[in-house]
Amino acid sequence: MTIAKTVDLVVAAKRAGYAVAAVNIVDDLSMRAIIAAAEQAQSPIILQTSVKTVKSMGAEIISGIYQHAAGNASVPVALHLDHCPDRSVITEVIRHGWTSVLFDASDRPLQQAWDETREVVAECHAAGIGVESEIENIVGVEDGVGSDEATHSYSNAKIVEVADDTGTDLLAPALGTAHGLYKASPVLQYDRVAEIGRLTDKPVVLHGGTGLSPEDFQRFIDNGVAKINISTTIKLAYMHAARDHIAKAEQTGKWEPVKMFDDINAAVQATVIEHIGEFGSKGAAGGVSA
């Protein structure tokens, strides 16, 4: 159980009634911490990379670290490209071994989004990797992608029609959540997940998981969500651990970067383990084929 396909992990989660955590990495330290957390909880895990992270670290470097770290892990680990409207980046990560991509066409008119999604699915499926599709925008800006305004919204029937026609593997509809930190209480659309589930067997993905309660997560999972994205809360754990370590270093005069890395690792691991528990995937690694 090492390198796994994203779609396989999500389908297994849907079948067993839990959600697999899809956690955004920012560097090799966060990647290794997330995998270590999954191993401790014996949970499958999806590592996510933003377009910004791919461009910052480089697809070849990320792929090399992933292949080594996941290849030696005791749990299934997949690698997913999050929110990507840039098809050249999709082509690049396909070449470097990602196991799935989210083609974000939410900034396009419906017909254009539909046509381009079909083309992306064809390209990805030819390489044996899965596609998550977003054609209506989920509010919030994440790593420079997205919008604070809802611009495209479609019926459940239309979303499923597009997914069926294009061959999309995973659906990312707007469910009332938002990327980033909430400025007001969200109006969560649990029933929409169940309604989409009555129209298709394709798994539904929840974006904007930061800030939701364990009860919120459970209700979404009970209605059929099988993949939950976590990004902002990981960034906060990472940065707060670094901030606190630096503040302590200022007081003590002890400047040891490796010790700071240890603190960041511990904070990220604790956050991931907490979410794995909330999503119900603890101990589920043995039930997934990598």
Positions marked active-site:
82
DSSP state of 286: G
> Which amino acid type is present at position 126?
A
User: Do residues 79 and 34 lie in contact, with contact meaning Cβ atoms separated by under 8 Å?
Assistant: no
Distance in angstroms (rounded) separating the CA atoms of residues 247 and 68? 34
Contact by Cβ (8 Å): 101, 134 = no
Please classify residue 213 by burial: count the beta carbons closer than 10 Å to its beta carbon, then call 0-12 exposed, 13-18 middle and 19+ buried: exposed
Bridge partners, 142 (sequence order): 145
Give dist(CA 5, CA 10) in Å, integer: 9
Amino acid at 284: A
Distance (Å, whole) CA 130 – CA 288 = 17
Residue 197: closest CA among 51, 6, 15, 31: 15
